[in-house]
Amino acid sequence: MGEEAAAATGLEGIEVLAVDHVGIAVPDLDAAIAFYTGVLAGVVEHREHNADQQIDEAMIVFDTNGTAARIQLIAPAGPDSTIAKFLDRSGPGLQQLAVRVPDVRIAADRLRAKGLRLLYDEPRRGTAGSSINFVHPKDAGGVLIELVQAP
């Protein structure tokens, strides 16, 4: 992204280490795991229930020649979860793009200083003990951006 485009989005100033994963909302986690592992030959790297987020999730890894790519499958664990609402509104599909940052608090503070809205006042627990926050999609070109700090 050029400097002019970065300035327009307000995303300059944070250090993005990598794309961490792409999140896909699914109504049935087991069926989605079967597809991504059976058809696309991914491997379940991690699976958990996240009570705080009211989701059940699985991280599927595709590792080719030492270059890993991850897809997070996210299913609602209750009717009031944000994923249940997403599925009701949009159906299954791409829900978020997650970027890895060295420090989610610093990244969030820098983005707020540029006028962007984040979903949480403080980082929350994400997959496998990571720290996360989200940039509001209306401030990020219609894409829900997840900030992820490794545990």
- Among candidates 132, 121, 120, 117, which has minimal Cα distance to 72? 132
Q: What is the pLDDT of residues 82-134, one digit of tens each?
A: 999 999 999 999 999 999 999 999 999 999 999 999 999 999 999 999 999 99
Q: Which two three-digit tokens encode residue 64?
A: 């080719």
**Cα separation, 44 vs 60, whole angstroms:** 5
pLDDT for the residue numbered 2? 43
pLDDT for the residue numbered 34? 98
Spell out the domain ranges in the chain: 14-149
Confidence of residue 10 (pLDDT cuts 50, 70, 90): very low
Higher pLDDT, 67 or 3: 67
What is the CATH T-level fold of the domain 14-149, as seen in this structure? 2,3-Dihydroxybiphenyl 1,2-Dioxygenase; domain 1 (3.10.180)
**Cα separation, 10 vs 78, whole angstroms:** 34
Q: 108-139 burial by CB neighbour count: b if 16+ within 10 A, else e?
A: bebbeeeebebeeeebbebbeebbbbbbeeeb
